[in-house]
Structure 1
């Protein structure tokens, strides 16, 4: 459940538009479309490179439970682009 909805006690605020670079969006789209979730640590690095300091987001991408389509981080990145 947390894979799709995240931690209900630690909801992510509005996604900083500066984090939504072409690279970040392309990586998120690719992971979501192909289900190549082993690349999510690379997405975490790309987010960190553009200033994302949200440990819950970075940790989820680097060490999260098995991922699936609908992952709350991917959905946050891909929504409202």
Structure 2
């Protein structure tokens, strides 16, 4: 199912976690600058992924910003309240999974 169909069906609004895991926003073309992948960022994102410690995403945002990241999509996503889960597009992007 495409994201448009899910939105029309009301699934995304009812289950916002679906947008994060199952659908990537086709308008989002985000890349990671190699300079942002500092040892601190890499250690932090690996721990988040391995330990399912998604409550650390705001700390990841700070580390990415300290490394020079100025991408509002990335930083705002990491700092948004709510549940994050394995499959989070930022974590996967930093880990090179997407």
Provide the TM-score with structure 2 as the length reference. Answer: 0.72
Q: Deviations over 1:9-50 (max 9, x none)?
A: 1221x3100001111011111011111111110000000001
Unmatched segments (≥5 aa) in structure 2: 1-17
Unmatched segments (≥5 aa) in structure 1: none
Residues 46 and 64 (structure 1 numbering): CA distance in 2 closer, same or farther, change over 3 Å? Answer: same
- Specify which of 29, 50, 57 is matched with residue 11 of structure 1: 29
| CA RMSD in angstroms, aligned pairs only | 1.7
Q: Which contiguous aligned blocks of 4+ residues in structure 1 show a shift greater than 6 angstroms? A: none
Task: Give distance in 2, aligned partners of 1:6 and 1:43.
Answer: 20
Which gives a bigger RCO, structure 1 or 2 (Cα 8 Å, sep 6+)? 1
Corresponding residue for residue 93 of structure 2: 76
Q: Is the 8 A contact 1:3 1:65 kept in 2?
A: no
The total of aligned residue pairs comes to 79
